[in-house]
Structure 1
Amino acid sequence: MYPLNCVDGYRIPVREEVYVLDIIPLAAGPATISSDQKLSLFNPTSLKAGPQLNLLTRHGNITCAKAYDAGSAIVCTAGEDGSVSMWDLRQDARQAEVARLTDNQVSVLSLACSSAGFSVAAGTELQDHQASILVWDVRSTPIPKLHYKEVHSDDVTELNFHPNDHNILLSGSTDGLVNICDTRITDEDEVVIQTFNHDASIHHAGFLNDTEVYALSHDEKLALYDVAENHENGAATTDFGDMREVLGCQYIANVTAKSNGAGAVIGAGAHDQQAFQLIHLTKGQGWNLDRDSSVSLPGAHSSEIVRSFCFYDEAQTVFSAGEDGFIKAWKPNA
């Protein structure tokens, strides 16, 4: 394990407690959403200067955000009132909100975006015995083109489009299921083409590559599944179990797949030790945790939980955000 140095940082300057909820990596720099209902864009070389753009969202409580087009700095946000907004962060604050997708009043818990498919998907919490997945075509009306009501029986906590097929949508839920849906199919009885039962409430799930997915539960259990192979009952191909026991941590912030398909990075934290580390998940004969090449962020976000992290490989920089209201930049020793 080798440590990185904290080289830059910014804390939201308010008296009350504000969490930085998530980081969205864009070509222009890291964008964040925070519990003061802000969407902010930072200069990656000068966090301490504060946000280059600071936008007040209108979702009640903001819950999630995803990049629609990371290269063009277009981001979607959603929240408690059920609305989804699209923002062009190249515009000034008065013109940045370029679309508002409507026809949903139920709190949105998850988002997925595909610029290739001109699609934005939103997953809702369970209300009146129904949890929905809505899909909009951003070229047409603000009314959803698809509305699935029976894919999950509880809160839809995660959505992700397939990395190379914009018709395939992964969904995860507190019902314990990770479903693979083909959005070309409008018949709700046929739309789910594969189901994996993680047997625990899904916190995060996503594609590692074209055929393999990961699922991480709220009680920190991690397993991998194969979309291509016909495993009986959709059984896990690799089951790591409770990552708190495996890694000696207290929580997993997320699992981030590498864009080149060469594995993923697991962000594991222990707030009572003021520790956070990035552990590589690599694939050889099988999937393995590469503990020897793990990276630590000493001091992390003090005793507060790290909510999000991302890495800019070319700049050799890791960004982290936490419940202490900070976004921080980390680099190796020069």
Structure 2
Amino acid sequence: MEKIEEQFANLHIVKRSSGTEEPTYLLGVDTSRTVHAEEGSLVAALCSSGSIRIYDKERLRVLREFSGSPGLLSGVKFANSHDSIYSACTDGTVKCWDARLASEKPVHQFKGYPSNVFISFDISCNDHVICAGTEKVDDDALLVFWDARVNPQGLSAAKDPLGAYSETHSDDITQVRFHPSNPHLVVSGSTDGLVNVFDISIDNEEDALITTCNSVSSVSYIGWSGKDYKQIYCMTHDEGFCWWDLNHLDTDEPITRLSIQDVRETITVKEGTLDYLVGGLYHEKMDRLFVVGGTNTGRIHLLNCTISGLTHVATLQGGHAATVRSFCWNVRDDCLLTGGEDAQLLLWKPAAVEKTFAKKDSMKIASSVHQRVRVHTSDGYKRRKKQ
């Protein structure tokens, strides 16, 4: 198998999204897991204007658009087994649209508790459970759960929650991520600096909490990695990186594999500088974890992650003209989708030649998205074992 370094370095732009769209930051990108003859695979992009745009993947042509108005949407995720698209909303719901229907109305809504403002969410790998994280209101920051299974016949009323966790985070819950293959495991991250791992098959919150790790800063991104996905990692709003091994919870070995307070101060990049981190990429076939970062001028850096630190692997350039906010890597065909503050959605493929117009000048606009950056000084992590 060709090394991922070569795969990444060999990527070239094959398509750009249309230049006639309203300029907006592209904050999140996901692709459908199913393929249809009429439109092929679909791409969903979360926009700072408060909408989700649905594109056909090969041409990056906008097919339809969904809005959370008057609420703002956070996150975008396709179901794992069908063409539903989900997003959390500040109006206290998680909304679900059929990505292949032109109707702007959600086909399902999952309603939270009074005063809930949802800013993060995910759906389990078997599409059975939705979990969403809230902003802190008064003294509460909640993880709220729903049964995602609905009657397939027509529209349904908003579904009420199964329950909520309220004791394990003390501030805004910025990230929620289910385990890729175990529907009972979910990890959450918060501006309180904590990263919590839960087994939701256990009845009460205290016993469901497997472990709490501390990033010592506001969490911006979390993910699963390692063989059988028994590791977790996170990035922070001030460009820190932490990586933990859950295999060591019941051993004397340290759980922390790597902890970097500010990656920008430790990394050497061959082409210029590193200004920010975007997210992580675990390559399952190669059993390797990579971190994706970039520059304010639109370059994208791939960093290799080992217990010794982060090292620069490759750089993509000539695509974006401003900060890259989101990406989606497809292992099946080695293609990459990226979205940024230049209002561009790009499709990269190996050894390809761009067939559309050249790189656009920066269309950077004022963002309606507020990033919280807080520094915390609490202890590294605490371990909790199930009784």
TM-score for both structures, normalised by structure 2 = 0.76
Alignment-derived partner of residue 263 in structure 1: 288
Alignment-derived partner of residue 53 in structure 1: 64
Alignment-derived partner of residue 384 in structure 2: none
Cα distance in 2, alignment partners of residues 233 and 196 from structure 1: 15
Cα distance in 1, alignment partners of residues 264 and 133 from structure 2: 28
Tell me, yes or no, if the aligned pair for 2:27 and 2:339 is still in contact at 8 Å: yes
SS state of the match for residue 299, structure 1?
Answer: coil
SS state of the match for residue 307, structure 1?
Answer: strand
> Does residue 1:330 correspond to 2:341, yes or no?
no
Alignment-derived partner of residue 11 in structure 2: 4
* 1:232 to 1:159, Cα distance in 2 relative to 1, 3 A: farther
Structure 2: which amino acid aligns with 1:97?
P
**CA shift digits 1:113-153 (9 cap, x unpaired):** 11526000000011111100001012367111121111100
Report sequence identity in percent: 26
Q: Which moved more, 1:93-102 or 1:121-130?
A: 93-102
How is 1:18-167 mapped onto 2 (pairs within 5 angstroms)? 18-27=24-33, 28-47=41-60, 50-58=61-69, 60-69=71-80, 71-90=81-100, 92-94=101-103, 97-104=106-113, 105-116=115-126, 118-139=128-149, 142-167=159-184
Tell me, yes or no, if the aligned pair for 1:20 and 1:327 is still in contact at 8 Å: yes
> Does residue 1:279 correspond to 2:303, yes or no?
yes
Cα distance in 2, alignment partners of residues 143 and 213 from structure 1: 30
SS state of the match for residue 221, structure 2?
Answer: strand
CA displacement at 1:67 relative to structure 2: 2.5
* 1:289 to 1:162, Cα distance in 2 relative to 1, 3 A: same
Which of these two proteins has the greater Rg computed from alpha carbons? 2
Tell me, yes or no, if the aligned pair for 1:118 and 1:138 is still in contact at 8 Å: yes
Tell me, yes or no, if the aligned pair for 2:223 and 2:233 is still in contact at 8 Å: yes
Q: Which moved more, 1:2-11 or 1:174-183?
A: 2-11
> Does residue 1:181 correspond to 2:205, yes or no?
no
Structure 2: which amino acid aligns with 1:25?
T
Q: 1:227 aligns with which of 242, 246, 251?
A: 246
SS state of the match for residue 351, structure 2?
Answer: coil
Tell me, yes or no, if the aligned pair for 1:21 and 1:33 is still in contact at 8 Å: yes
Structure 2: which amino acid aligns with 1:250?
D
SS state of the match for residue 190, structure 1?
Answer: helix
What is the aligned-residue RMSD (CA, Å)? 2.5
Cα distance in 2, alignment partners of residues 235 and 280 from structure 1: 20
Structure 1: which amino acid aligns with 2:97?
W
Q: Unaligned stretches of 5+ in structure 1?
A: none
TM-score for both structures, normalised by structure 1 = 0.87
Tell me, yes or no, if the aligned pair for 1:176 and 1:201 is still in contact at 8 Å: yes
Q: Unaligned stretches of 5+ in structure 2?
A: 34-40, 151-157, 268-272, 353-387
Cα distance in 1, alignment partners of residues 163 and 171 from structure 2: 19
CA displacement at 1:42 relative to structure 2: 1.6
Alignment-derived partner of residue 263 in structure 2: 243
Alignment-derived partner of residue 372 in structure 2: none
Alignment-derived partner of residue 214 in structure 1: 233
Tell me, yes or no, if the aligned pair for 2:325 and 2:339 is still in contact at 8 Å: yes
Extract structure 1 runs of 4+ deviating beyond 6 A.
231-234
Q: Which moved more, 1:58-67 or 1:319-328?
A: 58-67
Structure 2: which amino acid aligns with 1:212?
Q
Structure 1: which amino acid aligns with 2:233?
Y
Tell me, yes or no, if the aligned pair for 1:59 and 1:82 is still in contact at 8 Å: no
Alignment-derived partner of residue 200 in structure 1: 217
CA displacement at 1:7 relative to structure 2: 2.2
SS state of the match for residue 264, structure 2?
Answer: helix
Q: Which moved more, 1:164-173 or 1:312-321?
A: 312-321
Structure 2: which amino acid aligns with 1:6?
I
CA displacement at 1:163 relative to structure 2: 2.0
SS state of the match for residue 266, structure 1?
Answer: strand
CA displacement at 1:157 relative to structure 2: 0.7
